[in-house]
Amino acid sequence: MSIEFIGYIGGHHSSEIHPRSGPVLQPEYVEKVARAHDEAGFDRALVAFHSNSPDSTLIASHAASVTKTSSS
């Protein structure tokens, strides 16, 4: 049995303890998190969809454009 490590890439830095601030989509944040996942060897990353957030395909496309590992 193999194990896959799956991460999460959001459009901006926010959580239960970090309130949302700034633009809804922060490309620099997407790049930072995508590269961190890539360098750490994550197998995949989830990109959530919300009705009040940017299109998840934009986030996924941008993340893929700044990482070295590709998925088939």
Please tell me the predicted confidence (pLDDT) of residue 72: 44
User: Are the beta carbons of 62 and 27 closer than 8 angstroms?
Assistant: yes
Give the pair of three-digit tokens for residue 52.
Answer: 């009040």
Q: What is the mean pLDDT of the chain?
A: 88
Kindly tell me the sign of the dihedral angle through the C-alpha atoms of 48, 54, 58, 59.
negative
What pTM, to 2 d.p., does this model score?
0.82
Q: Which residues in the chain come in under a pLDDT of 50?
A: 72
